[in-house]
Amino acid sequence: MVLTLADVMPSVAASFGVGTGANPLALEPNRDVVVLLVDGLGAELLARHADVAPTLAARVQGTMRAGFPATTATSLTSLAVGAPCATHGVIGYSFALPEPDGRRTLNALRWRFDTADGIDARDIAEPETVQPVASRLEHLVAASVDVHYVVPGYQARSGLTRAAFRATGTVHPAATLDELRDGILAVARHDGHDRRFAYAYYPDLDMHGHIHGPGSPEWLAVLRDVDAFAADLFTDLPPTCTVLITGDHGMIRAGNTVDLDAAPDLHRDVALIAGEARVRHVYVDRAGASADVATTWASHLGADARVVTREQAVDEHWFGPSAPDPDIAARIGDVIAVAEGTAVLVRPAAEPMESAMTGHHGAWTDDEQAVPLITSR
């Protein structure tokens, strides 16, 4: 059985006696459970740099797949809901939503329209409507499990948090590793019999990977700090709390760069281009144009990308084992281009910040897809 991020919260719920009883991680019952997601903590990267992170490497219990695409907005929602994106509908870093007069791109990570710096979309594209599936945290709350969040303060009511996690809970703002440790221990150290679950998140490894590249000295310094944090946390953690640490994706260092903005033929019959540098959703501007656009993109990109139509991707279960319903299927690009090797499909004019990054993720490689399952017990 191939484990994915979507298996984590069903296992947590089962350990609390909540849900159908499926426990794919074989998680043993405990009074409290914390799931800590270290953004960008890939299993291949951790194995490659085990000397820098001996505590984390020694406690790896197995490897999971992030799911396609391997990107934060999709992975966090799959984690929280316990299902792949064919079910929850957050199908990428950005994707098109229908509007009365056409389609508009939603950046799901920042919950903004058109670009990462576009207008706030929370009032128009209400997160709980875009992603209407109940999260596993809501199931825990209904079963009287006390839910906590140990996250940077800006995330507490972000559009993505509302869409993915949905459940209200006690927030412990944590922007640094010291604050992360204090917040987790505040959840774990209590004398009562009430059961607690906490979702915790740390962003800096991903940030330095994007800016400097995975494996860079700056990235390794953050990984070393995260390992020291974990060693201290595991030492101080009471036996009544289980901590699970994982990532939402890994990362590759950009190799061949393909400038999509500089190729006019790639924009013929195309209304919108969404996604990110490793996975592009391409939306055509007229019915029946998908095959021609797919042919053009495949010819232009050659060995740098695999190009398929939406129908082929759905038939091959890229977004999950079950077919998406029509509303979610419509969010998937009419054509999808997935970068191969270390190629990146950038848009410097439309996405200057993202295009300047050194590290990227989203596609099918093990460096992007494999994430570790690390436990305190």
- Could you tell me the domains of the chain? 5-90+131-252+365-375 (3.40.720.10), 257-360 (3.30.1360.180)
pLDDT of 232-251, one tens digit each? 999 999 999 999 999 999 99
**How high is the pLDDT of residue 38?**
98
Residue 363: the pLDDT is 98
**pLDDT tens sequence across 28-67:** 999 999 999 999 999 999 999 999 999 999 999 999 999 9
The structure's pTM equals 0.97
For position 377, what pLDDT does the model report? 81
Query: Each residue of 325-361: pLDDT tens digit?
Result: 999 999 999 999 999 999 999 999 999 999 999 999 9
Residue type, 204: D
Burial of 321 (C-beta count, 10 Å sphere; 0-12/13-18/19+):
exposed
pLDDT of residue 1 exceeding 80, the answer is no
Label residue 136 by pLDDT band (50, 70, 90). very high
Nearest to 136 by CA among 155, 171, 164: 164
d(CA 184, CA 200): 8
- For the stretch 66-78, pLDDT in tens is 999 999 999 999 9
Mean residue pLDDT of the chain comes to 97
pLDDT over threshold 80, residue 24: yes
Name the E strands within the chain: 32-38, 60-65, 94-99, 102-107, 112-113, 146-151, 170-173, 196-202, 241-246, 252-253, 257-259, 270-276, 279-284, 305-309, 335-339, 344-346, 359-360, 370-375
Q: What is the pLDDT of residue 217?
A: 98
Per the DSSP assignment, residues forming a β-bridge with 258 are 345
